[in-house]
Amino acid sequence: MTAASADSGLAPVPAHVPPHLVFDFDVYNAAGPDQDFHLAIHRLHRPDVPEVFWTPRQGGHWVLTRGEEIHKVFADVEHFSSHALTVPKSTAPPVPLKPIFLDPPEHTKYRALLNPWFSPKAVAGLEVKARELAIRLIEELKPRGRCDFVTEFAQHLPIQVFMSIVNVPASDREKLLEWADGMVRPEKREDVHETIKHIFGYASQKILERRANPGDDLISKLTQAQVDGQPMTHEELMGMVSLVLIGGMDTVVSAISFAANFLAANPGHRRQLIERPEIIPKAVDELLRRFPVVNQGRLVVKDIELKGAPLKAGDMVVMPTTLHGLDDRCFPNPLEVDFDRPTPIHSTFGNGAHRCPGSNLGRTELKIFLQEWLPRIPDFRHDPAGKVGMSSGVNATIYRLPLVWEA
């Protein structure tokens, strides 16, 4: 459960990169083992760090550190492409994971196949089942007086809801979790390609099964869908189903876990949500602003200057979404969690055409956690005999969160 090791070598500095804009920082290893990921990456807001800098780590790439530029670049498809989303570019999968690795207008055609499954109406239909599941999980944990929140709650609520959407058996949960973790937080860079083989193999099997015996689930509907009047090829389906599987297994687990980690240490904030449950929807957005998890990349396809930095076609740029959420130019006192803060505009789910299609579902699941956990287990705290475990990577996460309360 550790992030990818930093390269032993550093990439050479390209001729177009001014020396004063070179800053040695590994965005995938911003924090040491078990350190606070968000505070570690927030160091990039120091005045001695260029607002746009080039780092020789992870193959060499640019890093954006301010919210305004991060939010704009997410939506700028003229200068920035999604054909490469992680650094170094060599870690890209051999088969494009559609639609996330596509740019408009091609992206739009494939994204349209996913949108109905995660629309507000669709999410409302899932909410009853998700709430029943959350209550059952909490009631089972409550008399014990302790749990590892990640493995016993956060890896169950959103993942079981997601698995019902794609109709895969609960027995596959552990290996899907392992593969998703291997994609976004590999031990070694070369491990990514081996993990991709496992995911593609699993997706291929499910595609063949659903073509033979289609149901009402998302994978079945994708096998029957058409793009430009033609059914998708097996390779296209394999990339798309793999993306759905990876996307459903990681980020919401992390978001719920970071929220629980904060509340375990802040009884005053717990009390606010218990006494004023009507503010929970606003609290969801504030927690998402304060604890983003994604370090998203883009490929520069047209030269552009940002904050005096000359980005050239072929360069890679990484946008840590945490640096938007913690930008004091966008949010006063950004390290503070303020449930009365005006609803923030942040980049936690991205921006523009590639905004996360599951954002409605993720918000709903975080809301359900707050609404159902706090009335039942209001005074939980960190287990003094345990240790919180955090990890960086393409996506940051909490992989261990021991909690205790009075049973």
- Are residues 166 and 247 in contact, defined by beta-carbon separation less than 8 angstroms? no
- Are residues 279 and 340 in contact, defined by beta-carbon separation less than 8 angstroms? yes
Please state, in angstroms and rounded to a whole number, the distance separating the CA atoms of residues 394 and 227: 30
- Pull the structure tokens for residue 348: 């936690």
- Are residues 245 and 199 in contact, defined by beta-carbon separation less than 8 angstroms? yes
Domain range 19-404, CATH architecture: Orthogonal Bundle (1.10)
- Are residues 365 and 256 in contact, defined by beta-carbon separation less than 8 angstroms? yes
Q: Between the CA of residue 23 and those of 11, 39, 117, 404, what are the distances in Å?
A: 12, 18, 42, 42
Please state, in angstroms and rounded to a whole number, the distance separating the CA atoms of residues 362 and 184: 18
Please state, in angstroms and rounded to a whole number, the distance separating the CA atoms of residues 226 and 204: 18
Of 144, 406, 407, 404, give the one whose Cα is nearest residue 260.
404
pLDDT in tens, 287-326: 999 999 999 999 999 999 999 999 999 999 999 999 999 9
Q: Which residues contact 52 (CB under 8 A, 6 or more apart)?
A: 21, 62, 63, 64, 65, 69, 306, 307, 308, 309, 311
For tokens 């055609």, name the residue.
Answer: 109
Of 88, 49, 81, 57, give the one whose Cα is nearest residue 323.
49
For the chain, residues with pLDDT lower than 50 are: 1-8
pLDDT in tens, 118-127: 999 999 999 9
Burial tier of 376 (Cβ tally within 10 Å: 0-12, 13-18, 19+): middle
Give the pTM. 0.93
Of 180, 200, 92, give the one whose Cα is nearest residue 391.
180
pLDDT in tens, 84-99: 999 998 766 777 889 9
For tokens 């059914």, name the residue.
Answer: 231
Please report the pLDDT score of residue 1 as a whole number: 32
Please state, in angstroms and rounded to a whole number, the distance separating the CA atoms of residues 295 and 297: 7
Please state, in angstroms and rounded to a whole number, the distance separating the CA atoms of residues 42 and 46: 8
pLDDT in tens, 339-364: 999 987 899 999 988 899 889 999 99
Whether the link from the prior residue into 88 is cis, omega within 30° of 0, is yes
- Pull the structure tokens for residue 389: 């475990």
Please state, in angstroms and rounded to a whole number, the distance separating the CA atoms of residues 143 and 341: 35
Please report the pLDDT score of residue 138 as a whole number: 98
- Terminal alpha carbon distance of the chain: 30
Torsion (CA) 305, 316, 321, 126 in degrees, nearest 10: 130
- Are residues 297 and 85 in contact, defined by beta-carbon separation less than 8 angstroms? yes
Please report the pLDDT score of residue 73 as a whole number: 97
Whether the link from the prior residue into 12 is cis, omega within 30° of 0, is no
